[in-house]
Structure 1
Amino acid sequence: MRRTGRSAGLLGAAAMVMSVAACTADSGGGGAEASCATLYTYQDRSYQDVANVKFTLGKKLGVATQPASCEDTGGHDESEPVMTETAYEVDGISPKVAIAIGDTPKTATFFAVHSGPELPPEVQKLIDGS
């Protein structure tokens, strides 16, 4: 392979790594990482998934949406479809704070409002088991 071909290949690989890295952010709440794939919007609020939360599923709320690609990487294409999942209430917590999202109640995962490095106190209480 010629030197220019190798350089172009390395630049392309570096660009791909940077795109993926730009889509990942440390949530700061419990050390869990969030990526664009784990961000959803429901009723104009952004939610990110939170691991290790024991919760009881409530009633079906409606539809949560997930962007087709990361907005912050410059790769967003308006023609790409937005992904949707069912949003469910979490017993004992307002949907303004947390919801569960999944195709079915059995596959629903816990999501909390994405608003900075700290988890809402109601969510932290569930994690701590208090």
Structure 2
Amino acid sequence: MSWTGRSASVLVAAAMVMSAAACTAGSGSGGEESASCVNRYTYQDRSYRDVANVNFTLGKKLGAATKPPCEDTGGQDKDEDPVTTETAYEVDGISPKVAIAIGDTPKTAMLFAAYSGSELPPEVQKLIDGS
């Protein structure tokens, strides 16, 4: 491969890393993550972030959860990333104030928790430990 080809490959790789880094979590005030692209929703004025690889039992349908737009462009292109909504469900044995499941259908629902700072709620941690 020529020097020009290698340089172009390095630039493309660097651009990919930078765009991925734009959507990673950073530390905000109070120890809370303040990333713009974190998979998060709001439901009844509470914010929830996704929790991966957790076994849970879905409860009844609660209503609509709202996903705010990703703000990784510094306020530019707001028209391109509209607010979306999906269905929120109860998680058996856990208050909706602590955790909910969100998805288009019960089969696709994922667990979302209301964090206190950077700590998972103890009820959610118990689910993880039991998984």
Q: Which runs of 5+ in 1 are unaligned?
A: 1-5, 28-33
Q: Aligned pair in 2 of structure 1 residues 129, 76: CA closer, same or farther (>3 Å)?
A: farther
* Larger relative strand fraction: 1
* Alpha-carbon separation, structure 2, partners of 1:115 and 1:77: 31
AA matched with 1:92: G
| SS of alignment partner, residue 97 of structure 2 | coil
* Alpha-carbon separation, structure 1, partners of 2:58 and 2:76: 33
Query: How does 1:74-89 map onto structure 2 within 5 Å?
Result: 74-75=74-75, 77-80=77-80, 81-89=82-90
Alpha-carbon distance, 1:77 to partner? 4.4
RMSD: 3.1
* 2:30 equivalent to 1:25: no
Q: Aligned pair in 2 of structure 1 residues 128, 97: CA closer, same or farther (>3 Å)?
A: same
TM-score normalized by the length of structure 2: 0.71
AA matched with 1:25: A
| SS of alignment partner, residue 25 of structure 1 | coil
Query: How does 1:34-53 map onto structure 2 within 5 Å?
Result: 36=37, 38-53=39-54
CA contact (8 A) 1:68 1:76 kept: no
> Could you tell me which residue of structure 2 aligns to residue 92 of structure 1?
93
Q: Which runs of 5+ in 2 are unaligned?
A: 1-6, 28-34
Alpha-carbon distance, 1:114 to partner? 3.3
Identical-pair percentage: 81
Which is worse superposed, 101-110 or 43-52?
43-52
TM-score normalized by the length of structure 1: 0.71
| SS of alignment partner, residue 106 of structure 1 | helix
Q: Aligned pair in 2 of structure 1 residues 26, 93: CA closer, same or farther (>3 Å)?
A: farther
Aligned residue pairs: how many? 116
> Could you tell me which residue of structure 1 aligns to residue 68 of structure 2?
67
Deviations 1:50-91 (A, max 9, x none): 11211100000011111222x354145443421111000001
